[in-house]
Amino acid sequence: MKKEQSIVRFVDIDETVFHTTAQVKIRSKDGEMLRSLSNQEWNTYPRDNIRAKTEVADFSEFADAEKFFRESKSIQPMIEKLREWSRQMKEDQKHMKDMIVFVTARGDFDDRETFLDTFRQQLIHIDDKEHFYVSRTGNLTDDTRINNLPLSTAQRKKIEYLHYLMAKMPTHAELYEDDLNNIKDFLELEKEMPVIKYSAFHVKDNKIKQVDGA
């Protein structure tokens, strides 16, 4: 018998659903402020000094729920997709087994409800716990390592992709992301779980473009 169709959609938050203003503060080991990096700049920032502990990355702004709520600007094409998916999962029998997982590199916010209000004010049904989940890969312990090195953002996200795919075993999986490294890692999951059909979409300059497979 043919398996019933279902989709797990993984959606990044920063620079994918919202333009955000939180920055990573790079400090010396003595606490001196060296530089501030945007989310996208941090993705490509060399980690050698961080690993050597001569520099420290301060992510405190990424836990500030009020800053996220007050300063985030919606990326409208993604907001429209999320609203439509919300409607489908509620009303269309064919989509009631679908799932949306927001996978963010952030850890916990200092105020959960204020964080969720940012989605609620965009009419995204984030409180629908049957269909919406938030995965905060910043909460993964630094003791989790590959080749004795701390996990990169892409590796942390890949762990979460696999967790939800193995639990749900959908027929299709989609990723919406602004970081091409995360997209590359996602598409390589086809080698590990080939029974699932994978699609990835790059979000940049308020546009959504499908990315060819690995």
Asked whether residue 148 carries a pLDDT value surpassing 60, the answer given is no
Asked whether residue 8 carries a pLDDT value surpassing 50, the answer given is yes
Same domain, 15 and 28: no
Q: Is residue 96 part of a domain?
A: yes
pLDDT level of residue 161 (50, 70, 90 thresholds): very high
Put simply, whether the predicted model's pTM sits higher than 0.85 gets the answer yes
CA dist 190 and 194 (Å) reads 5
pLDDT of residue 147: 46
Q: Is residue 68 part of a domain?
A: no
> What's the chain's average pLDDT?
91
Total count of domains within the chain: 2
pLDDT of residue 22: 95
pLDDT digits (tens, 9 = 90+) for 60-88: 999 999 999 999 999 999 999 999 999 99
Query: Side-chain half-sphere of 106: how many Cα atoms within 13 Å?
Result: 23
Same domain, 12 and 35: no
CATH number for the domain harbouring residue 110: 3.40.50
Asked whether residue 188 carries a pLDDT value surpassing 90, the answer given is yes
Q: Is residue 1 part of a domain?
A: no
Asked whether residue 214 carries a pLDDT value surpassing 60, the answer given is no
Same domain, 171 and 88: yes
Same domain, 33 and 80: no
Q: Is residue 199 part of a domain?
A: yes
pLDDT of residue 139: 84
pLDDT of residue 28: 93
Task: Give the rounded percent of residues in the chain with a pLDDT score beyond 70.
Answer: 94
pLDDT of residue 146: 46
pLDDT digits (tens, 9 = 90+) for 91-145: 988 899 999 999 998 999 999 999 999 999 999 999 999 999 999 998 875 555 4
Same domain, 82 and 31: no
Same domain, 199 and 105: yes
Same domain, 13 and 111: yes
**Higher pLDDT among residues 176 and 148, named by residue:** 176
Same domain, 107 and 196: yes
Q: Is residue 38 part of a domain?
A: yes
Same domain, 101 and 206: yes
Task: Give residue 113's domain range.
Answer: 7-20+73-211
Q: Is residue 2 part of a domain?
A: no
Same domain, 48 and 109: no
Same domain, 32 and 14: no
pLDDT level of residue 15 (50, 70, 90 thresholds): very high
Same domain, 34 and 97: no
